[in-house]
Structure 1
Amino acid sequence: MTPTDTIAHQPKGVDTTGPENGTGVPTLVASHEANPVLERDAATKGSWMAYVKTKQFWIAMVLGQTLAICITSTNTLSQLLSNEGTSIPAFQSLFNYILLNIVYTGYTLYKLGLKGWAKMVVKDGWRFFILAFIDVLGNYFIVLAYRYTTILSAQLINFWAIVVVVILSFLFLKVRYRWTQIAGILLCVGGVGVLFGSDHITGFNQYDALDAVKGDLFALLGASLYGVSNTFEEFLVSEEPLYVVIGQLGFWGMFINGTVAGIFDRSSFRAAVWNADVGGYLTGYTLILSLFYSLAPILFRLTSAAFFNISLLTGNFWGVAIGVKVFHYHIHWMYPIAFVLILVGQIIYFLRQGSLAEQKKPWLGEAQDKGVSGIGTAKRRVENPDAIV
């Protein structure tokens, strides 16, 4: 996955090794002139179905649903842990950051060497610290919200994350949204509305809130933090190799999450039940969440933080689908309709975009020469027109 990620800051058309790369792999910065990928994108910009017909679109759709299933699986495992009497939301995420740090920081050290890694941390570590801090707090406040408010209220407020991403992308990343993208987002939200309507009819997920106002405020804060971290991570992975970003997220997240767990989870940890089932649930939770953190940056590169968030809206459907087996739920007839509406909304989102669509980041220049060349990036396709991702 990561060996193709290289950093290039040299002028257009120059074939050199990027000074911050440290890999010894020459990086070719493709010129806009006569480049078939850029020419095709320019010719199809604003055309109907241009991106939907590409392999990249279907890869993005499958990847988005894979991430939705990952999140649903971690939520299911959290519920199983709670059923066992073990509710340690901050502590259980600590193992995820530790695993990410071991795998990706280890690979970063292999690629850059100890001195190269240290220079990177001194130069850019503050950016990754901020990303990890926002990510850890976002996770914590969302979990905290579910203690006080209803699932319905918390999930409705999570739509705020999409709004935050769209606003931040427009203001800071120079992203300009077409009306079809806005329509697609609204249809996806409407699909989730159908899910909530089904829950209301069947009484599923309905229970009294312990403190609705406090819970809703926590959910709103968590959703805002999610929106900021998603947008910031999309920006970082467009400029840096994946192994650097994920490794630094794991490195700083390990310390930040450990501190949060030490402060807020001490009493919960002492009261927790520890047995073989709990160990298995924690292991599964860690592995699936680490897979989620590994795949999400690729979707940020292929599409955007906005599409990432609307992809996760199908999580409610997958949650009930998994719950049929695990918790003996029953799927209401409105659930498949809602699922299809969300998928159709995702198609409409890309209905009038060029062949590169959101893979081409506006802040990286016309030929994407300011960005990294790696899996999922437009620059990789510009340099190698035969590359799929």
Structure 2
Amino acid sequence: MADSEPLIAARENPDNVPESQYDALLGQENTEQSDEELVADNKRKGLLAYLRTRDFWTVLLLGQALAILNTSSSTFTSLLEAQGTSIPAFQTFFNYALLNIIFTSYTIHKYGFKRWGQIARNDGWKYILFAFCDVEGNYFIVLAYRYTTILSAQLINFWAIVVVVTLSFLILHVRYHHMQLLGIVICISGMGILLASDHITGSLAEGGKALDAVKGDLFALLAATFYGFSNVVEEYFVSKRPMYEVIGQLAFWATIINGIQATTFDRSSFESATWNGSVIGYLFGYTICLASFYTTAPLIYRLASAAFMNISMLTGNFWGVLIGVFVLKLRIHWLYPIAFMLILLGQFAYYLGQRRRSALGEARKPWLGRNQEQGVSGIFTARRRIDRAQHAVGVSVLGDEVRDG
């Protein structure tokens, strides 16, 4: 099929084309060119041209927003522990219940109760496994704070990256550019510096003594494993289904699973917990932060990937440090700022590799087909861009034909 004039103009003079229009036209080009040709075109745009893309700044800001929300929820957990309230399962129940009320209600409004029931019946077992991994991830990370501190528990987050990358490679057939792998290595190196500052210099013990650091780290490691599984599954789901359906089904089944777990394991903890105005406020803050996290995360799964989302979470350690110093009165080591800069550098390197692979970056999912025909057309999905690009080019060609008579 011959190239349209707008597409030719965009390739020859990319600097003269608005970013949004350029991405759309390249989305159309993505259906006509091979990956090798796309890589060559990206190289012609320049090594650091990705810094000028709207996608880069969007995904970077989304990642940092998620990191701050995640750190904030962890802070509220630490504050609850300081009050003598440790209820790992019950604490997260309100988050799932809130999401369930919002997204399940909206899904039923969009689909009707009959179709919603069909989804729950036919695909319920998939969502139950997804919800189970998510519930257990939240349960064990909250449990970890019973034995260790916010800084130590967050250091284990890098393991979720290993789980996500491995599962994405083996199950979703994602293939990573060497720059992406380099970015992951740089980020993990930053995590290594954090581990060194906490466990070798003993700076963590100066400000906050862990009850049982080894047990706490093991619980955090287990939580990261569950999170890795749930992140990959969620990326798969939100690329094929509307976000409100995925979040609604997750929340519906998670509310049930979490409720049973809280009733079974949190009875004694609930009875011995401290209950006052501060505790209620901390629970409210925890619920709002976590619900906001769950609402925002699918956007970054679509625009980037579960791997990039977890890389972004690593900067949460720096935000956790700021909160630890000014709120929890912990003391840190001077290596923390260096580690933070390494993690940011790793994110830049990872995104550079992502943009050099194709015009649509990681928004293009390999399990959805070459033209993303098996995916949903939703916000930040590659299929929506391709559909809009095809429509825009079609309108442009039709206009030329009308003008030509």
- Give unmatched runs, 5+ long, in structure 2: 1-24, 392-405
What corresponds to 1:24 in structure 2?
none
Which residue matches 1:271?
272
Q: Does the 8 Å CA contact 2:88/2:140 hold for their aligned counterparts?
A: no
Task: State the alpha-carbon separation in 2 of the partners of residues 33 and 280 from structure 1.
Answer: 49
Q: Which amino acid aligns with 1:227?
A: G
CA contact (8 A) 1:41 1:356 kept: no
Question: Are positions 1:361 and 2:354 aligned together?
Answer: no
The 2-side partners of 1:96 and 1:58 are apart by 29
Is the 1:49–1:350 contact (alpha carbons within 8 Å) kept by the matching residues of 2?
no
Matches within 5 A, 1:7-156: 35-36=28-29, 38=31, 42=35, 43-45=37-39, 47=43, 48-49=47-48, 51-148=50-147, 154-156=153-155
Partner of 1:203: 203
Equivalent position of 2:292 in the other structure: 291
Equivalent in the alignment of 2:341:
340
Q: Partners of 1:188 and 1:34 in 2: how far apart?
A: 30
TM-superposition CA deviations, 1:15-65 (whole Å, max 9, x none): xxxxxxxxxxxxxxxxx9992465689544363345443211111111011
Q: Are the aligned partners of 1:160 and 1:223 in contact in 2 as well (CA < 8 Å)?
A: yes
Q: Which residue does 2:229 correspond to in 1?
A: 228
Do 2:78 and 2:149's aligned partners in 1 also have CA atoms closer than 8 Å? no
Give 1:323 deviation, angstroms.
3.0
CA contact (8 A) 2:163 2:225 kept: yes
Q: What secondary structure, in the 3-state scheme, does the structure 1 residue paired with 2:375 have?
A: coil
Q: Please say if residues 182 and 349 of structure 1, whose CA atoms lie closer than 8 Å, have aligned partners that are also in contact.
A: yes
Shift in Å at residue 254 of structure 1?
Answer: 0.4
Aligned in 2, Cα 1:346/1:117: closer, same or farther, shift over 3 Å?
Answer: same
Q: Kindly tell me: are residues 139 and 172 of structure 1, through their superposed partners in 2, closer, same or farther at Cα, counting changes over 3 Å?
A: same
Query: How far did 1:328 drift?
Result: 3.6
CA contact (8 A) 1:303 1:358 kept: yes
Is contact 1:152-1:196 (8 Å) kept?
Answer: no
Matching of residue 282 in structure 1 with residue 294 in structure 2:
no
Larger Rg: 2
Which of the two has greater helix per residue? 2
Alpha-carbon shift at residue 138 of structure 1 (Å):
1.7
Equivalences, count: 355
Task: Give the equivalent residue in structure 2 for 1:383.
Answer: 387
| Residue number in structure 2 paired with 1:26 | none
Find the aligned partners of 1:93 and 1:386 in 2 and give their Cα distance: 44
SS for the counterpart of 2:314 is: helix
Q: Measure the CA separation in 1 of the matches of 2:120 and 2:361.
A: 32
Q: TM-score, normalised by structure 1?
A: 0.84
Q: Secondary structure at the match of 1:384?
A: helix
SS of match in other structure, 1:173: coil
1:144-167 CA-partner distances (Å, limit 9, x unpaired) = 344446767654543222111111
Shift in alpha-carbon separation, 1:87–1:386, aligned structure 2, 3 A: farther
Distance 1:34 1:133, change over 3 A: closer
> 2: CA distance between counterparts of 1:278 and 1:146?
16
What is the alpha-carbon distance in structure 2 between the residues aligned to residue 333 and residue 38 of structure 1?
A: 50
Instruction: Tell whether the 8 Å contact from 1:52 to 1:350 is kept in structure 2 after alignment.
Output: no
Query: What is the CA–CA distance in structure 1 between the aligned matches of 2:287 and 2:389, rounded to whole Å?
Result: 37
**Is the CA contact 1:364–1:370 (under 8 Å) kept in the aligned structure 2?**
yes
TM-score (norm 2): 0.81
Secondary structure of the corresponding residue to residue 158 of structure 1: helix
Q: Aligned letter for 2:204?
A: F
In the alignment, which residue of structure 1 is the partner of 2:7? none
Q: Distance in 2 between matches of 1:99 and 1:265?
A: 20
Q: Give 1:127 deviation, angstroms.
A: 1.1
Do the aligned residues in 1 keep the contact of 2:155 with 2:317 (CA within 8 Å)?
A: no
Q: Deviation per CA, 1:92-125, whole angstroms, max 9, x where unpaired?
A: 1000000000010111011001111111111212
Query: Cα gap change, 1:101/1:275 in structure 2, threshold over 3 Å: closer, same or farther?
Result: same
* Identity value in percent: 55
Q: For the structure 1 residues 205 and 295, does the alpha-carbon distance in structure 2 shift closer, same or farther, using more than 3 Å as the test?
A: farther
Q: 1:219: which partner in 2?
A: 220
